Amino acid sequence: MKGLIELLRVPSLLTIQDAGRKGYRKLGVPVSGFMDDYSARIANYLVGNPGNAPLLEFLLAGPVVRFNASAVFAVVGDVEVRLNGAPIDPWTSHWAKRGDVLEVGTLRSGLYGYIAFAGGIKCEKLLGSCSAYPRAKLGRPLKAGDRLSLGYALLTGREGRYLPKELRPDYSGNEREIRVVLGPNLEHFSEEGIETFLSETYTVTPESDRMGYRLDGPAIEHSSLGADIVTEPLLPGAVQVPANGKPIVMMRDAQTTGGYAKIAAVVSADLHLLAQSRPGAKVRFKAVEVEEAQKLLRKREKTIEAIRAFLEEKMRAYKVKVSGKEFTAFAGKVK
């Protein structure tokens, strides 16, 4: 059935995203996909989808949606949500019937929010992905009046999944520590420049977008080799420093090559934290070794898999205190 959901109002950037395009960087096509893969995957798990299923990603303010058939959905973010005018909880899967209207407000913290639907959003895959990358006309921003179809899913048992507050990512606060691995072009920076990068605070500027986050702060000094390098591959998370000394962190829609020296790369486990930093947010960088970055990613993946199992009632979560600090522990077996 076509047009299972209809967009009545779209106040900000709204796109369909999934886990992104794989295997096309050699052809100059960015990965794209979820800006905050941590939150997006949880949104999908809340409605019983695979973590990479296509969903709606909104920037700051959510849409108003009308359901033209029954569906199960979940809204993820620090945001007020209403169904037919009545408040409902985010981070929870809800049943909607034909004619129901969903209103998603403005995020109180963070920058990107997600709306997942059981079965995922049906769309034509372009180069193996539904992710919108408007710069190359691979998909487009959605607008009021658009109608979207959903994939087939048995809805029974998908309603009522709930993620407790202590298990949700916290994007409040105006300053974040972002961990990085230094390199690969350190010879293009002076010792003072590297020290500046690791000791000073930088501010996310309004010129930031899905392609890259431009940061303002003390200029990072280059060595006698200067800012320019022979163009080489570029990945999301790479921190370029052009001649003005102000760092630019590449994000999900980043170009595939670049000619500015790279002082570091944001570890994969922290890239979603940076993605959720609004213009004006403060960022400090901390250097870690490659082995630590890999350990951090493994730990994050274990956590999100435990959350998936918890939502599927295969594991239980418990609060424990260690040395006066409170943590969440999971018990059970991930299948």
Residue with tokens 């809204």: 75
pLDDT of residue 103: 98
Give the pLDDT score at 335: 47
| Measured CA angle at 101 (ends 95, 106), to 5 deg | 100
Task: Find the mean pLDDT for residues 2-30.
Answer: 93
- In angstroms, the Cα distances linking 41 to 18, 265, 294 are 9, 23, 20
Note whether 157 and 35 are same-domain residues: yes
Q: Indicate the pTM of the whole model.
A: 0.92
Q: What total of structural domains would you count in the chain?
A: 3
Residues 9 and 104 in one domain: yes
Residues 42 and 32 sit within 8 Å (Cβ to Cβ) = no
In one letter, which amino acid is 99? Answer: G
Residue type, 219: A
Q: Which residues contact 81 (CB under 8 A, 6 or more apart)?
A: 62, 75, 87, 88, 89, 90, 102, 103, 104, 105
pLDDT of residue 299: 97
Report pLDDT digits (tens) over 40-98. 999 999 999 999 999 999 999 999 999 999 999 999 999 999 999 999 999 999 999 99
CATH number at residue 258: 2.40.100.10
* Confidence (pLDDT) at 2: 53
Quickly state the pLDDT bin for 327 (edges 50, 70, 90).
low
Mean pLDDT of 208-220: 98
294 pLDDT higher than 90: yes
Mean pLDDT of the region 258-285: 98
Residue range 186-214: average pLDDT? 98
Do 297 and 255 fall into the same domain? Answer: no
Q: Is the pLDDT of residue 318 over 60?
A: no
Concatenate the DSSP letters of all residues of 255-275 into one string. Answer: -SEEEE-EEEEE-GGGHHHHH
CB neighbours of residue 243 within 10 Å: 12
Q: Are strands 93-96 and 121-122 parallel, antiparallel or unpaired?
A: unpaired
Looking up tokens 């919108």 gives 132
Residue 155 sits in the same domain as residue 110:
yes
Contact criterion met (CB below 8 Å) for 213 and 251: yes
Residue 150 CA to residue 154 CA, distance in Å, equals: 12
In this structure, the answer to whether residues 158 and 10 fall within a common structural domain is yes
Q: Last residue of a domain, which of 122, 144, 167?
A: 167
Mean pLDDT of the chain: 93
Pairing of strands 175-182, 282-287: parallel
Handedness of CA 119, 120, 124, 125 (dihedral sign): negative
- 242: pLDDT strictly greater than 80: yes
Residues 277 and 313 in one domain: no
Q: Which amino acid is at 87?
A: P
Mean pLDDT over 288-309 rounds to: 97
Show the domain range for 245. Answer: 175-288
Q: What does residue 142 show for φ and ψ, rounded to 5 degrees?
A: -80, 155
Whether residue 179 sits in one domain with residue 143: no
Q: What is the pLDDT of residues 307-317, one digit of tens each?
A: 999 999 864 55
Give the angle subtended at the CA of 100 by the CAs of 132 and 53, to the nearest 5°: 30
Cis before residue 54, ω within 30 degrees of 0? Answer: no
pLDDT confidence of 169, banded at 50, 70, 90? very high
Instruction: Please give the residue that has the higher pLDDT: either 329 or 255.
Output: 255
Structure confidence at residue 156 (pLDDT): 86
